[in-house]
Structure 1
Amino acid sequence: MPAEIFQVPMKMPRRFSAALLSLLVPASLLLGGCSKGQEPMPAPLYLLDQSWRLTELEGTPAPAPAGAAITSLTLSSVDNLSSGQAWCNQYGGRFTLVPGTSYLTFSDQASTRMTCPEQPQESRYLTLLPQVRRYTISHRQLQLFDSEHEQPLLVFEVK
């Protein structure tokens, strides 16, 4: 008669499992932002539900005059809504993100109707968002591209 093999489950000490988790979580966050070639892997955790601050608008530094709001963008992981603050107004709309690809698009963005001296930049910014077709994230910098140019339309950094 063959001998039976019994497997006894091993319990891991709590200290060890907590230490292991403290190493695995940051490693998984770092690997989530890795990419093969130019195409990013599934959306890194910090893309969504993060406030991004605009730093460049079509290759030029985004103007931030005294008294004007910092232009920001947030992409909600819950309802695929984009929102933010432009120079004068709050805005929002929808976005589409295809996990595992660099595909990202925005609907037209609705905004409040206050006027300010930075209105031309704000109007241009709100016109550029629906032209976005892909994104990259590198060094905590979000770059948004249209389908025609190699240079990003908009560049953001973590706020």
Structure 2
Amino acid sequence: MKTPRRLSVAFFALLLPASLLLGSCAKDDEPVPAPLYLLDQSWQLIEAEGKPVAVTAGGAATSLTLSSIDNLSAGQAWCNQYGGTFMLVPGTSYLTFSGQASTRATCAEQPQETRYLNLLPQVRRYTISQRQLQLFDSEHPLPLLVFEVK
């Protein structure tokens, strides 16, 4: 009677590691890439904190591009070019930005630009719907920033 017990112990001793190895290959565990239309796309700011954003008198629109190669964010704000880094968590809507560095030109829209650059590091998630990118913080149901495809 001891033989079947030894056989079953040996069987389970082999089965457990094999099932762990096979389980780690499941498709559900594979990283999901960010949507292609989020990255390497030029987004133009159309709304900040619920208020429409107009193009400056000089014709420069505030833009944002997220690079798929090096996780760098870059764009043109009202007065200056800016950039930093961003982080996406694959398979989720989680998105964060570092503080963004910018050039130092001044213009009449400087307060708007400063507010915009201060809002980006507050972002915690995004949605994309009808060619619009909406960026949210962790507290409010309405987006902080809304962009559309340029």
TM-score, normalising length: structure 1: 0.73
Residues of 1 paired with 2:35 and 2:87: CA distance?
A: 15
Q: 1:125 aligns to what?
A: 116
Unaligned 5+ segments in structure 2 are: 1-31
Instruction: Write out aligned runs for 1:3-14 (5 A).
Output: none
Identify the match of residue 73 of structure 2 among 79, 82, 85.
Answer: 82
Q: Is the 8 A contact 1:71 1:86 kept in 2?
A: yes
Judge conservation of contact 1:42–1:101 (CA < 8 Å) in 2.
Answer: no
Aligned Cα RMSD in Å?
A: 1.1
Shift of 1:68: 4.5
Q: Which has the larger radius of gyration?
A: 2
1:137 aligns with 2:140: no
Q: CA deviation at 1:64?
A: 1.8
Structure 2 residue 20 is the aligned partner of structure 1 residue 56: no
8 Å contact from structure 2 (residues 84, 99) kept in 1: yes
Residues 73-112 of structure 1 mapped to structure 2, 5 A cutoff: 73-112=64-103
Distance in 2, Cα, partners of 1:63 & 1:131: 22
Equivalences, count: 119
Q: C-alpha distance in 1, partners of 2:110/2:50?
A: 19
Unaligned runs of 5+ in 1: 1-40
- Matched residues, percent identical? 81
Please state which structure has a larger fraction of its residues in helix. Answer: 2
1:9 alignment counterpart: none
Q: Which runs of 4+ in 1 moved over 2 A?
A: none
**Contact 2:56–2:78 (Cα < 8 Å) also in 1:** no
